[in-house]
Amino acid sequence: MILTMVMLDHSPVHSDPEVLGGTLVFRGTRVPAQALLDYIQDGYSVEEFIEFFPSVKKSDAEEFLKLAHAEA
């Protein structure tokens, strides 16, 4: 799945060519946003994702899921 979305200044994710070649990541991390979607699709909860990627704030993960769902 390729993720596209409108980016806002207050978005929990961003893209920077200097970070993972411009892959959409959670702000302040190198964790790809797509990883959360993949984990959710595989049956993991947001809480479990945060356990695997503790640098991602739970509130950012939840907000990203809302944004991604709105784009779908």
Calculated CA dihedral for residues 3, 8, 9, 10, nearest 10 degrees: -90
Predicted structure pTM score: 0.80
* Cβ atoms 29, 36 nearer than 8 A: no
Query: How does pLDDT run across 10-24, given as a tens digit for each residue?
Result: 789 888 888 888 899
Name the residue ranges covered by the structural domains of the chain: 26-71
Query: How does pLDDT run across 54-72, given as a tens digit for each residue?
Result: 999 999 999 999 988 877 6
- Alpha-carbon distance values, 64 to 1, 19, 46 (Å): 16, 19, 11
